[in-house]
Copies of this chain bind each other. A is one copy, B any other.
Amino acid sequence: MNFKQLEYFAAVAEEGSISGASRALHVAQPPISRQLSLLEDELGVTLFLRTNKGVALTEAGRCLYQHSRQMFQSLRTMADSVRDVEAGARGQLKLGVIYSDVQTATQLLKQYHAQYPQVELYVRMGAPGDLLDDLGRGELHVLFLRSQSGRSFGLRERVLGEDPLELVMCPETDPAPGQDAVPIQALRNVPMCLLRSDDLWNYSRDLLEECRRAGFAPSVACHCYDTPMEMQMVQAGFGVGFLPRSIVAAHPGSPVYTKPVLEFSAKSYPILVWENDPYQSGCVKRFLELAETLGGTL
């Protein structure tokens, strides 16, 4: 059986005669007659009662006609879906986001979803190392990470914006109350909550270096494995943190705020990271294109 036979069959069923279908399909009458016979032979079933006034569906023919309608519908759906997937309008997009990038990610994804509402979004939050592992295994397509120093991952990346690194504090731990910026000497005896120093994405490495140059080593009250925990510790009054400024936007209603270090400025850069694969799926391509377009507007 093939689609052509089904198509001929349906036309005959609708026209009520083989010659009618012949005219409708712009095909000679004998081929249709013949394909119909072949179809009947293959199914082992009589589909039409032939008379000299046309043909009439048998019960079995009616059954086949109903199924054939569904079949054609399925066929159209199939082709459309496949084209949508290729175009990136349908499919799955799996994203990894580090905590510091939640703001950036949700903003970008909102725009993406508005443009491609049919794409299924999968998002996971995690530590950069874990996310990179998943990217390598192909379980994630794109990551929202931070590049502090323009370090390369052997992957493709794109900078989405910039975000100054600042001290994070509550009123009771503010080392320089009433001032817009904190002189570095004010940190001399201030306990700090910093990301643990062996983390690749250790924002505070350069700050610690700067402190050493200023003649002191800050006291690290707590080594944090991840940003959310660092925020919690700062909020609990354990000490002063050092994080991208936008992190406080993710904590509305929190007493936490940031101030720059007076003599030292550093920035972190939100970036997208993805495998350098020329055969990315459509929706990944579209997503990366959108990120390219929106560029620094985030």
Contacts and interface: CB of A to CB of B under 8 A. Distances in A.
A77 B70 CA distance: 12
Contacts of A83: 43-45, 60
B2 A46 contact: no
Interface string A41-54: 00111100100000
Contacts of A68: 78
B60 A71 contact: no
B85 A74 contact: no
Contacts of A79: 1, 43
Given A59-B281, A282-B60, A45 B82 contact: yes
Nearest to A90: B63
Given A3-B2, A279-B49, A85 B59 contact: yes
Contacts of A43: 79, 82-83, 86
Interface in A20-68: 43-46, 49, 58-60, 62-64, 67-68
A59 to B, nearest CB: 4
A86 B1 contact: no
A4 interface: yes
A281 B281 CA distance: 51
Q: With a 10 A CB-CB cut-off, give which of A67, A70, A82 has the most chain B CB atoms.
A: A82
A1 B1 contact: no
Interface residues of A, number: 35
B91 A59 contact: yes
Contacts of A282: 59-60
A75 interface: yes
A59 B71 CA distance: 23
A232 interface: no
B78 A71 contact: yes
A139 B46 CA distance: 22
B49 A63 contact: no
Contacts of A91: 59, 63
A282 to B, nearest CB: 6
Interface string A278-296: 0101110000000000000
A58 B279 contact: yes
A107 interface: no
14 contacts: A43-B79, A43-B86, A44-B83, A45-B86, A49-B279, A58-B281, A59-B91, A60-B85, A60-B86, A60-B282, A63-B90, A64-B82, A70-B74, A71-B74
